[in-house]
Structure 1
Amino acid sequence: MFRTLLSKMTENAAKRLKMSADGAITIGTHNGHFHADEALAVHMLRTHIPTYASARLVRTRDPDRLAECHTVVDVGGEYDASRNRYDHHQRSFSTTFPGRPTKLSSAGLVYMHFGQEIIARRLAVPTDSETVSLIYTKIYESFIEALDAHDNGIDVYDPAGIAAAGLTKRFANGGFTLGAMVGRLNPNWNDPVPEDAAAAQELEDARFEAASRRIGEEFDRDLDYYTKSWLPAREIVAAAFAARGEYDAEGRILVFKGQSVPWKDHLYTLESQDTDVRKPLYVLYPEKPTPDAKWRVQCVPESKDSFQSRKPLPETWRGFRDDKLDEISGIEGCVFVHAAGFIGGNKSFAGALAMAKKALEL
């Protein structure tokens, strides 16, 4: 039902575009200080939807000029997909992406209506395919939702919960979020501005175009990752997960024989779907796909973005290398164990497997 609904949204959007394609296409958005959401919305339309490939951009808050635009994003106080209006600032707006709680920004609105088409074109498959639906949701959760939250002033964590727990930051992270990356491309308060209004607007529009390209590059990288890397890795991780009992009776060791692939996301999904409570603690993979490659022993994190391992490598091994590590561990061919204990290495698969098995006992 979810795929059917999204497919109809994409189909209807395509029909509206065809009906309007005989005239010049213009995309309207607001002028002044720009944000990541409208910068990405414009990029997605102009780069990935053929009808918008040569679209002219109009940046204004003038209602009369916006009314003349074929499509309007992030301004105008109206969300009406049948009229290609994608604003989210009106008081009555509460739309979210299917299955997610975060209120949409203009980026989320454009992605919700055109994302399936973007992915289907990249994969050269029908928009209603299961694969498109899978990646459509993953890209929203991994990329778009952060922009929606940022533009709507939604914190990653509940501020009241953070305060109640007495948690404080250990260090400043520079604020380098996707939103901040675009924000940095706005002019500084004391940058010179041309006296001529038209020249000033032209300079501001050029900055916006640069911002749209910049956030667009990151979106395209995410799109390429999920379609060209993450998706092909899915079957490889599933096969290794199914064979995990081959190396440890309790299934605590996962092995990728050919080469490492993006495995964390797929592993947690497989674990959530499997009734077997056995969870891998270590993942083994060669550093490169050659017979003489060294092997890595990587600890499985407690969660995808966690630095905490389910079972770190033994404390007595950490920070040692080569012969000294061989001596301490009693295993030949050791290369290193990181001081934090989340990863180690050996010259051979047999040695890496021996490290993982011994670590399970300690």
Structure 2
Amino acid sequence: MLRSLALRMAENAAKRLKTDNGSPLAIGTHNGHFHADEALAVYMLRQHVPTYSGAQLVRTRDPARLEACHTVVDVGGEYDPSRNRYDHHQRSFGTSFPGRPTKLSSAGLVYLHFGREIIARRLGLAADEDNESVGLVWRKVYESFIEALDAHDNGVSVYDPTLLAAAGLQKRFSDGGFTLGAMVGRLNPNWNDPVPEDPAAAQAAEDARFELASTRIGEEFDRELDYYVRAWLPAREVVAEAFAARSDYDGEGRIMVLKGQSAPWKDHLYNLEEQQPDSGKKVLYVLYPEKPTPDAKWRIQCVPVAKDSFESRKPLPEAWRGFRDEDLDGISGVSGSVFVHASGFIGGNKTFEGVLAMAQKALAL
């Protein structure tokens, strides 16, 4: 498979983009062991920025060969956008994404400079159009995807290891180490894999592995980008409308109802609450139909204290938890009950009127 990929790469050389002097436009990065950050940096440029469509990839540490490249990422010891140089390993480097603390890797640098263009094109806008939606998605994709690669490549842990040790916290089990960085890393050859004796063949085999890794991490990036453009961003209007109408169901605005169809609401709810800190008490329960049909059952979900937290701002009453159907009807005093989860973070009712009654009763308990 790797050999066939290398052959296809060679066969496509004639189709690659040409520069003004007729030579292939080249993106340079280092050879040897590859990482997720340069794999994604190369993918973003070649697949999402028209200038680099079909660009040649040059993997080397030879300064003369790198100097001849149009663009260089993750090698060369230079960060200079005016010269298309995007390395982060030099001692003087300290650039981070606006509003975020993590030092950038080559993925973060390419995203910093080209991310807005990538997102604008995905939204069907002019490449240089910078409206609110472009900025929202640009920041969100960085925080949800790119920053993890920056942190991984710069050796930044999710939690402060000193504080973890001081608290005596240890993992209960192995999580398999399956991170975005590890996903790319495992595509490197094993230490005892056979290596072609011919240096050119050996480099071609290594480059083919890098191409696979770049495509793999790029596919995940595309899925992330498509989610935020096609699902997350349209949900903002839905949630904003529900947030504005929450006082219709509770005088203090603690119940929010998503009518018609459920949509991703957590990010947008927290953002709306931050933007309007004096708009009343925080939302405690979100109500939504299981599917967009008139006969759909309804869910009540507790708002977590933070997006990734398992702790709810106000869980459903302890006496309701773990019960279903008629048993739950009798305990809650609300007919049509379907269930309440054992942890109290979510429940259900056969009708909107029933799930609203559950929410109102839960507020009073």
Instruction: Write the mapping of 1:109-188 to structure 2, written as runs, cut at 5 A.
Output: 109-126=109-126, 127-188=129-190
d(CA) in 1 for partners of 2:172 and 2:316?
25
Decide whether the 8 Å contact of 1:21 with 1:51 is kept in 2.
no
Distance 2:21 2:89 in 1: 28
Residue 59 of structure 1 pairs with residue 62 of structure 2:
no
Structure 1 residue aligned with 2:98: 98
Q: Cα RMSD over matched residues?
A: 1.8
2: distance between equivalents of 1:192 and 1:309?
Answer: 53
Rounded to whole Å, the distance in 1 between the matches of 2:58 and 2:150 is 22
Distance 1:298 1:147 in 2: 32
Q: Is the 8 A contact 2:71 2:84 kept in 1?
A: yes
CA distance in 2, matches of 1:353, 1:53: 53
**CA shift digits 1:145-204 (9 cap, x unpaired):** 111111011112222222333333333322221111111221222222222222222222
- Count of aligned pairs: 346
Q: Distance in 2 between matches of 1:171 and 1:193?
A: 36
- TM norm structure 1: 0.91
Does the aligned pair in 1 maintain the 2:239–2:269 contact within 8 Å? yes
Per the alignment, in what secondary structure is the counterpart of residue 297 of structure 1? strand
Gaps of 5+ in 2: 1-16
Q: TM-score, normalised by structure 2?
A: 0.90
**Which letter does structure 1 place at the counterpart of 2:107?**
A
Over 3 Å counting, the alpha-carbon distance change for 1:72 and 1:327 in structure 2 is same
Change beyond 3 A, Cα 1:63–1:213: same
Are 1:283 and 2:286 counterparts?
yes
Shift of 1:73: 0.6
Identity %, equivalent residues: 76
Letter in 2 for 1:297: I
Pick the aligned partner of 1:203 from 198, 202, 205. Answer: 205
Deviates more, 1:98-107 or 1:326-335: 326-335
Residue 319 (str. 1) matches residue 319 (str. 2): no
Task: Mark the CA change 1:98 to 1:20 in structure 2 (over 3 Å): closer, same or farther.
Answer: farther
Distance 1:95 1:123 in 2: 27
CA contact (8 A) 2:18 2:24 kept: no
Equivalent runs, 1:27-106 vs 2, <5 Å? 27-106=27-106
| Cα separation, 2, equivalents of 1:70 and 1:20 | 11
In the aligned structure 1, how far is the partner of 2:180 from the partner of 2:232?
21
In 2, Cα distance between equivalents of 1:329 and 1:358: 8
Letter in 2 for 1:95: T
Distance 1:98 1:70, change over 3 A: same
Amino acid at match of 2:123: L
Structure 1: 5+ residue runs without aligned partners? 1-16
Counterpart Cα distance in 2 of 1:353 and 1:173: 39
